[in-house]
């Protein structure tokens, strides 16, 4: 696994806006400042609090609480319905500020972003003043009621962890000098991306704390997690970057076959050979615990003719059958476009090959790494409850919000894809 290395001067800032939705409302409405505010999808008796203000949090108001319960707890609570356009506007302004400091800004969600400063170390020797300058610029140019917590570390994961430690308005540097002290005060589930299931798995293997996780043998962790993810935990806690740039020993995988004269005579056999090649790739990607984002198919015919097809996947692929079906379907579509009746599999075919590239680790496909799992579970629960109550038109997850008029834009939890298209790497957003 020596393909991983700490780039010298690696530096990442993670910027997390505090109580973002509520703060935006308080920014725009002076009356709301200093008051406990609860942003809700709707403000009926059983409306759910989806974003309590900093003041409301101090009074015990939590995400997912029903409004009637919240008002009982805090009678002066001001409930507000969401105004997604407002949050998007503020988000855009904040991202513009961040891009002044680095050309590598990765929005993580509507209220979070990763700012990579590794290539800017000649300009920024010390990163704490950079973080303070970001806070100041947001305060002065976007809104004086907006606060953020910033984490600074050599990798995105530890920067995110740092941003979680002090809220609101935190600034935490995680470095080789203080990481052990910081980790010694945390539980496994305090690490973003470690849910209860993963924590249990680790505990079963004798890893009880984040500090033990940091010092455990990576091969042992791989066995305990039953995947490469174990290695990734080792790498993250030891300052390597595995989250903004995934480096794999395998840049691509190929499977190809020269075809014999007898094989060429049967389209069914040719099709089966392609199927086998796809299955071979599936087996190898599964072995490496990766999914691919792109694939390349080629077929060589007599007299040097070739057919080629480059495929890009919205959702990363590992399944060989899916890959096989896709190759066939696209070949048929292309043939239709070209008004050609010639099949991909004809007796002129001399060789076939398929390659897959742009790998991402399977665990990152399966869940969002930085997601606070508890919060996510709760949001999902709230989401389905609301849906039951009000029907699917009224409530949607960010991923479901689309440009289509019938789909009402209620709120975009998490994903900012609708704002950015594909700027955010796939595995980082929903």
Contacts with Mg ion, residue ranges (CB under 5 A): 16-17, 111
Known active-site residue 245:
no
> Looking at beta carbons only, is 63 or 311 nearer to Mg ion?
63
Give which of 423, 400, 375, 429 is closest to 92, Cα–Cα. Answer: 423
CB 91, min distance to Mg ion, A: 11
> Looking at beta carbons only, is 63 or 205 nearer to Mg ion?
63
SS3 state at 255:
strand
CB 371, min distance to Mg ion, A: 12
> Looking at beta carbons only, is 57 or 300 nearer to Mg ion?
57
Task: Please state, in angstroms and rounded to a whole number, the distance separating the CA atoms of residues 68 and 45.
Answer: 5
> Looking at beta carbons only, is 16 or 371 nearer to Mg ion?
16
CB 111, min distance to Mg ion, A: 4
Beta bridge partners of residue 39, listed in sequence order: 51, 80
Give which of 10, 78, 6, 72 is closest to 39, Cα–Cα. Answer: 78
Residue 244: C-alpha distances to residues 106, 250, 369, 396 (Å): 9, 17, 11, 28
Contact in structure between 294 and 357 (CB atoms under 8 Å): yes
CB 167, min distance to Mg ion, A: 8
- How many helices (H) and strands (E) are present in the chain, helices listed first? 17, 12
Strands 171-173 and 148-153: parallel
Please, where are the H alpha helices in 240-338? 261-264, 267-287, 320-337
> Looking at beta carbons only, is 167 or 201 nearer to Mg ion?
167
Q: Which of 25, 112, 282, 371 is catalytic?
A: 112
Q: Six-digit token pair at 179?
A: 């990481």
CB 114, min distance to Mg ion, A: 13
Task: Please state, in angstroms and rounded to a whole number, the distance separating the CA atoms of residues 168 and 18.
Answer: 6
Q: Which residues are catalytic?
A: 112
């Amino acid at each position: 696994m020596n393909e991983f290395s700490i780039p010298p001067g690696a530096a990442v800032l993670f910027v997390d806006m505090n109580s973002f939705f509520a703060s935006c409302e308080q920014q725009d409405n002076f009356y709301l400042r200093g008051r406990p505010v609860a942003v809700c999808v709707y403000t009926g008796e059983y409306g759910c609090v989806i974003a309590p203000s900093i003041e409301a949090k101090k009074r015990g108001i939590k995400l997912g609480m029903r409004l009637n319960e919240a008002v009982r707890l805090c009678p002066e609570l001001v409930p507000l319905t969401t105004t997604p356009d407002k949050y998007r506007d503020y988000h855009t302004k904040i991202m513009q500020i961040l891009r002044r400091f680095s050309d590598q800004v990765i929005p993580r969600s509507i209220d979070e972003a990763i700012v990579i400063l590794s290539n800017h170390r000649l300009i920024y020797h010390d990163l704490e003043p950079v973080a303070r300058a970001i806070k100041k610029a947001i305060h002065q140019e976007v809104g004086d009621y907006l606060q953020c917590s910033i984490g600074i570390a050599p990798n995105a994961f530890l920067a995110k962890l740092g941003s979680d430690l002090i809220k609101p308005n935190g600034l935490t540097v995680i470095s080789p000098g203080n990481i052990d002290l910081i980790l010694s005060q945390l539980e496994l589930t305090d690490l973003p991306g470690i849910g209860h299931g993963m924590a249990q798995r680790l505990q079963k293997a004798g890893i009880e704390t984040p500090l033990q996780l940091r010092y455990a043998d990576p091969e042992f962790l791989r066995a305990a997690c039953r995947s490469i993810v174990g290695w990734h935990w080792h790498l993250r806690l030891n300052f390597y970057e595995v989250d903004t740039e995934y480096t794999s020993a395998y840049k691509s995988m190929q499977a190809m076959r020269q075809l014999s004269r007898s094989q060429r005579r049967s389209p069914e056999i040719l099709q089966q050979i392609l199927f086998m090649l796809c299955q071979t790739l599936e087996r190898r990607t599964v072995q490496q615990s990766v999914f691919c984002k792109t694939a390349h198919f080629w077929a060589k015919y007599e007299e040097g003719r070739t057919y080629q097809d480059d495929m890009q996947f919205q959702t990363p692929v590992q399944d060989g059958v899916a890959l096989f079906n896709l190759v066939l379907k696209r070949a048929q579509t292309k043939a239709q476009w070209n008004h050609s009746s010639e099949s991909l599999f004809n007796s002129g075919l001399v060789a076939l090959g398929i390659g897959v590239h742009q790998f991402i680790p399977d665990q990152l496909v399966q869940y969002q790494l930085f997601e606070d799992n508890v919060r996510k579970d709760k949001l999902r629960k709230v989401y389905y409850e609301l849906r039951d109550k009000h029907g699917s038109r009224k409530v949607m997850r960010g991923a479901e919000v689309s440009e289509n008029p019938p789909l009402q834009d209620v709120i975009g939890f998490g994903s900012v894809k609708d704002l950015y298209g594909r700027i955010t790497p796939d595995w980082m957003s929903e």
